[in-house]
């Protein structure tokens, strides 16, 4: 799959480059024909030349329209565009001296461009087409109607000038368009690498989820046994107040574990059903904070929430709540390192994006490049899956997760497009 995606993007970049190059060719060819006909007073076949340039202009409009269409480009389409450009160039060279024209080397430009983005067989096809055009122009062409004799120095000087102009044009075209095309291809290679890293991370998350489901199933039996025995132990040791309090705390923790397991099952069912909850931002945020306060009662959370943002209705996917809870829990752990319980949650709207920013008063991030790698954690007791799960949720919703250091700690911002998560 990555190879096919890269090939499609490469074809689009090549076709777009050809479109820009075609516009430059139309302008340059029109200028050259007019200069030769009006300024140099050469009796060139003006009508056939303008007809060829006009045909290229019509095809340029068609190619620009094709780039705006949603269906993907095919390899044969790119080769067809190059073939049409080569035929038109050969047609124009036929009426202007054929292979003796200094601009004959422009036939090499399509080969150079196709070599940067097309597979070998397509490059060979383009090269063969350019070779056939060159050989044909060696034997069949309309000579340039120069007034000088064939052995005149002036004729040779004119040819050298044409070669110089052709060299400048070739240098500009190759340096600009090929460097631009190579830049696009490098960006696509980086994107392919990111996609592979995300696929590996998602495979790791899936493996953890599978193990968690099995563990949840196995833990249900011992938790049920403890839930049955703990009340009996409390009755047997009712006289020991200290032990009774400990047993009561242990019983509450067992109930909490059972609640977490039930929520895991409910979350899995909701994920399979793909039915999002329809909640306002205020209800969703306050629900998350209530759950977070149960998990971390010592945390002191501040929440500035604008009224306009609070009234936005969200189609909340199942994983968003857990992503926000992971960020809040990580912030509480970071603040605890500096003996602080402060955690700030800031909800805002930035154009068409909803931003959930979580700030802490911790030591900040040592590095920002590997924070979302599965298994990477700056806490000694961390599992290294909190930020990875949050980033996976953000990517699934076409959003992004941005981590940065602040003057008093760190900030993790979860940016989500309202077009995806908001009720229309």
- Does 178 have pLDDT greater than 60? yes
* Torsion angle in degrees (nearest 10) through CA of 333, 336, 342, 343: -10
**Residue 312, SS3 per DSSP:** coil
Share of the chain above pLDDT 90, in %: 3
Q: What is the average pLDDT across 302-324?
A: 82
User: What six digits make up the tokens of 337?
Assistant: 């390192």
Show the beta-strand stretches assigned E in 72-152. none
Return the pLDDT at 263.
67
C-alpha span between 93 and 129 (Å, rounded): 15
- What residue has token string 């752990």? 333
Q: What is the average pLDDT across 241-262?
A: 79
Q: What is the average pLDDT across 225-249?
A: 79
Return the pLDDT at 200.
61
Return the pLDDT at 374.
43
Confidence grade of residue 6 (pLDDT, cut at 50, 70, 90): very low
- Does 361 have pLDDT greater than 50? yes
208 or 141, higher pLDDT: 141
User: What six digits make up the tokens of 287?
Assistant: 């629900």
Burial class (CB in 10 A: 0-12, 13-18, 19+), 113: buried
359 or 146, higher pLDDT: 359
Show the beta-strand stretches assigned E in 85-237. none
Q: What is the pLDDT of residues 87-124, one digit of tens each?
A: 998 898 888 888 888 878 888 888 877 877 788 888 89
Confidence grade of residue 22 (pLDDT, cut at 50, 70, 90): confident
Q: What is the pTM of this model?
A: 0.46
294 or 64, higher pLDDT: 64
Q: What is the average pLDDT across 325-351?
A: 87
Return the pLDDT at 55.
92
Tally of residues, the chain? 424
Return the pLDDT at 225.
81
Of 253, 248, 262, 251, nearest in space to 220 by CA: 262
163 or 123, higher pLDDT: 123
Structural domains in the chain, CATH included, are 9-145 (no CATH), 276-370+381-423 (3.30.565.10)
C-alpha span between 324 and 295 (Å, rounded): 13
Q: What is the pLDDT of residues 139-153, one digit of tens each?
A: 888 887 765 544 444
Of 337, 361, 357, 336, nearest in space to 346 by CA: 357
Q: What is the average pLDDT across 197-211?
A: 62
Residue 397 phi/psi, 5-degree rounding, is -100, 15
Average pLDDT, the chain: 77
350 or 215, higher pLDDT: 350
- Does 2 have pLDDT greater than 50? no
Q: What is the average pLDDT across 374-386?
A: 50
Largest CA distance in the chain: 126
Return the pLDDT at 152.
44
- Does 133 have pLDDT greater than 70? yes
C-alpha span between 333 and 325 (Å, rounded): 12
Confidence grade of residue 404 (pLDDT, cut at 50, 70, 90): confident
Q: What is the pLDDT of residues 32-69, one digit of tens each?
A: 888 777 777 777 788 888 898 899 899 989 988 888 88
């Amino acid at each position: 799959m990555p190879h096919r995606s890269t090939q499609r993007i490469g074809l689009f970049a090549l076709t777009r480059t050809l479109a820009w190059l075609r516009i430059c060719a139309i302008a340059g060819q029109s200028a050259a024909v007019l200069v030769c006909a009006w300024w140099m007073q050469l009796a060139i076949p003006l009508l056939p030349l303008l007809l060829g340039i006009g045909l290229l202009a019509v095809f340029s409009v068609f190619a620009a329209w094709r780039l705006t269409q949603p269906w993907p480009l095919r390899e044969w389409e790119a080769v067809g565009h190059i073939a049409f450009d080569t035929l038109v160039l050969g047609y124009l060279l036929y009426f202007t001296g054929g292979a003796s024209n200094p601009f004959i080397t422009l036939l090499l430009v399509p080969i150079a461009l196709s070599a940067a983005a097309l597979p070998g067989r397509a490059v060979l096809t383009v090269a063969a087409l350019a070779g056939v055009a060159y050989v044909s122009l060696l034997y069949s062409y309309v000579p340039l109607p120069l007034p000088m004799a064939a052995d005149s120095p002036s004729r040779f000087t004119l040819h050298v000038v044409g070669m110089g102009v052709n060299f400048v044009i070739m240098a500009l075209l190759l340096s600009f368009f090929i460097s631009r095309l190579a830049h696009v291809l490098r960006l696509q290679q980086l994107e392919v690498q990111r996609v592979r890293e995300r696929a590996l991370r998602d495979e790791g998350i899936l493996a953890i989820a599978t193990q968690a489901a099995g563990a949840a199933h196995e833990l249900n039996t011992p938790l049920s046994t403890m839930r049955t025995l703990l009340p009996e132990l409390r009755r047997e040791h009712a006289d020991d107040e200290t032990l009774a309090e400990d047993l009561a705390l242990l019983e509450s923790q067992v109930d909490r574990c059972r609640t977490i397991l039930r929520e895991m099952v409910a979350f899995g069912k909701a994920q399979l059903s793909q039915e999002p909850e329809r909640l306002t931002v205020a209800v969703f945020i306050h629900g998350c904070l209530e759950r977070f306060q149960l998990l971390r009662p010592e945390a002191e959370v501040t929440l500035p929430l604008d009224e306009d943002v609070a009234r936005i209705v969200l189609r909340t996917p199942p994983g968003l709540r857990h992503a926000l809870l992971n960020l809040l829990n990580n912030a509480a752990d970071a603040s605890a390192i500096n003996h602080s319980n402060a955690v700030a949650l800031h909800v805002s709207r930035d154009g068409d994006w909803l931003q959930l920013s979580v700030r802490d008063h911790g030591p900040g991030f040592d590095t920002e490049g590997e924070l979302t790698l599965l298994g990477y954690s700056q806490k000694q007791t961390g599992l290294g899956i909190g930020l990875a799960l949050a980033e996976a949720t953000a990517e699934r919703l076409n959003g992004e997760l941005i981590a940065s250091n602040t003057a008093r700690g760190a900030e993790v911002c979860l940016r989500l497009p309202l077009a995806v998560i908001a009720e229309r």
